[in-house]
Structure 1
Amino acid sequence: MTTSTLSPTCFTLSTNNHVAHLVLNKPEAMNTMHPTFWRELDAVLTQLHKSGDARVLVISSTGKHFSAGMALDIFAGAIKMDDQSPEGRAAIFDVLTDMQATFTKLETLRMPVIAAIQGGCIGAGVDMVSACCIRYATPQTFFCIQEINIGMVADVGTLQRLPKLIPLAVVKELAYTGRRLPAERALQYGLVNAIFDTPEAMVEAALQCAAEIAAKPPVAIWGTKQAIHYARDHSVDDALKQMGWLQAGIWSNRHVMEAVVAMKGKRAGEFPALQPLRAFSELG
């Protein structure tokens, strides 16, 4: 097992057998999100994306709630919005763009992301898990678009991603009323993949699923994630064309043969890791 070279204070990060596990660890604050949380999460996701070691990311939490969303006191503090001038209001765009980009990294990571959600997933918590690939829950799990209850519009991804995941009328009901969506209804709508009796069983299942994914060729998993997200936002015809170019770019006879031989031999396949990434500015 390896741990992150970073030293986050809002969560722990470990990697074992190519499965990264991010655990929100501020239960006394209901794992609320503040500038430090955002800064640390962005840095960790960037590190995971660049290193190529992890092949799946599991996100879980501690305490009663997965996350109670944004820490409300920050609206009167460090990121208080200036609505007194056009210049101040224009700057809100850049603040939100920066915040949105962090959760978008969950979608653009070179690996699937599995969220294990216990208790309340509220406000920005919904923004966060909406960007994940797979969501597991417990009977106590609920989702709440809390923003409408505090006089604002959800603005970091919920209203853009949820309509791709559950019926539009359901999104509107939740967004207009601020009501809670319990785990059973979330399962019926397809927002969560499964419900487990306890948080421990849920996390175990998430890690088991992650291990199963991590055993596949990483570049094929990357390509699959790319294709699914492209198809979500484009026509079938466009997505088929993109699929052709994608498959042509990553096809490997070696990977296919190894997968087939390993399956017949009832053993784990051996596949090369994704290449570590370096920004152009880091070269030379």
Structure 2
Amino acid sequence: MLRKALQRSLPSLGRSISTYQFLKIETPSPKVYHVQLNRPEKRNAMSLEMWYEIGEAFDELSDTSDCRAIILSGNGKMFTAGIDISAFISVVPQQSDSAHKSLSLLKTVKKLQDSFTAVEKCRKPVIAAVHGACIGGGIDLICGADIRLMSSECYMQVKEVDIGIVADVGTIQRLPKIVGNQSLVNEYCLTARKISSDEAARVGIVSRVLVDKESMIEEAVALAAQIASKSPVAVQGTKSNLVYSRDHTVQEGLDRVALWNSAMLLGGDPIVAMSGAGEFEDP
């Protein structure tokens, strides 16, 4: 499909992963992969091709054995300007019948949703590092991440009402659970006002604010490296159960983690972790 057949070797790991046209993937630390949105000349505006590549890349990294943590950022002056409006004109179905148009558009929207949900479903923890601006679809994207960092000059904006559409790929569903204040999220979504880095940190959209992009990426790499040093079985199990428990009752979450640990505690990672001896195996 959109993914190029060409494979490239990552020198620091000696592994090969797919090459993407609109994503730049590097390995700044062992077991850590850095995925960058890579249309800097377009302020990383998300075309359909980039959108689908995001889903493909996170599906691939989820199954890459030596990947234990992922950083998601944007190359250039900003994280993303959101939807590439000119590219999305092609989404409008060409059928003459309105019912058939609706079904065709529904299929496209579901594909777009799945591409961003791949970030949340990825078995490896994802750290979003946001600079410059994070507009529209960018917020949908980072809401699927596990940890979010932001540079001080950055702002966010749920922009969709300004272009006459409803945010439909994750913000409306995930942001209220991140912030914990439905009134405030309603305000963001209905007014499209800008959210400063200070406000984003204060209301819990991001964990912390760093002075600039460089220090933010350094912090993201250090955080990802710390996660990558832990048992991959424990880390991936923790992410899985955190996401599950967010959407289920306390008892359902307890039942699930009990089943998880009844299997995983029989493995060797707890012995390695508690003894401090040896390295964890890649799953």
TM-score w.r.t. the length of structure 1 is: 0.90
Distance 1:39 1:52 in 2: 22
Residue 62 of structure 1, CA deviation: 2.2
Partner of 1:177: 191
Question: Are 1:214 and 2:228 an aligned pair?
Answer: yes
Distance 1:84 1:184 in 2: 48
Question: Are 1:80 and 2:124 an aligned pair?
Answer: no
Question: Are 1:192 and 2:206 an aligned pair?
Answer: yes
Counterparts of residues 85-234 of structure 1 (less than 5 Å):
85-166=98-179, 167-234=181-248
Distance 1:64 1:4 in 2: 29
The answer to which of 187-196 and 47-56 deviates more is 47-56
Partner of 1:42: 55
Question: Is the Cα contact below 8 Å between 2:116 and 2:140 reproduced in 1?
Answer: yes
Residue 246 of structure 1, CA deviation: 1.1
Distance 2:245 2:19 in 1: 37
Distance 2:103 2:165 in 1: 17
Residue 249 of structure 1, CA deviation: 2.1
| Corresponding residue SS for 2:19 | coil
| Corresponding residue SS for 2:17 | coil
| Equivalent position amino acid for 1:273 in 2 | D
Question: What is the Cα-based RMSD across aligned positions, in Å?
Answer: 1.6
| Equivalent position amino acid for 1:80 in 2 | V
Question: Are 1:271 and 2:271 an aligned pair?
Answer: no
Question: Is the Cα contact below 8 Å between 1:4 and 1:13 reproduced in 2?
Answer: no
Question: Are 1:249 and 2:258 an aligned pair?
Answer: no
Question: Is the Cα contact below 8 Å between 1:127 and 1:158 reproduced in 2?
Answer: yes
Distance 1:143 1:91 in 2: 31
Partner of 1:67: 80
Distance 2:147 2:247 in 1: 18
| Corresponding residue SS for 1:106 | helix
Residue 206 of structure 1, CA deviation: 0.3
Question: Is the Cα contact below 8 Å between 1:106 and 1:131 reproduced in 2?
Answer: yes
Residue 86 of structure 1, CA deviation: 1.2
Partner of 1:279: none
Per-residue Cα deviation, 1:29-73 (whole angstroms, up to 9, x for no partner): 000111210232222112111222200010111222100111011
| Corresponding residue SS for 2:72 | strand
TM-score w.r.t. the length of structure 2 is: 0.90
Per-residue Cα deviation, 1:132-166 (whole angstroms, up to 9, x for no partner): 00000011111111111000100011100001101
Distance 1:250 1:21 in 2: 28
| Equivalent position amino acid for 1:14 in 2 | E
Partner of 1:258: 272
Partner of 1:280: none
Distance 1:253 1:49 in 2: 21
Distance 1:103 1:248 in 2: 31
Partner of 2:41: 28
- Provide structure 1 residue ranges, at least 5 long, that are not aligned to the other structure: 275-284
Number of residue-to-residue matches in the alignment: 268
| Corresponding residue SS for 1:179 | coil
Distance 2:43 2:238 in 1: 34
Distance 1:141 1:258 in 2: 41
Identity of counterpart residues, as a percentage?
32
Question: Is the Cα contact below 8 Å between 1:4 and 1:14 reproduced in 2?
Answer: no
| Equivalent position amino acid for 1:272 in 2 | E
Question: Is the Cα contact below 8 Å between 1:30 and 1:68 reproduced in 2?
Answer: yes
Distance 1:235 1:4 in 2: 41
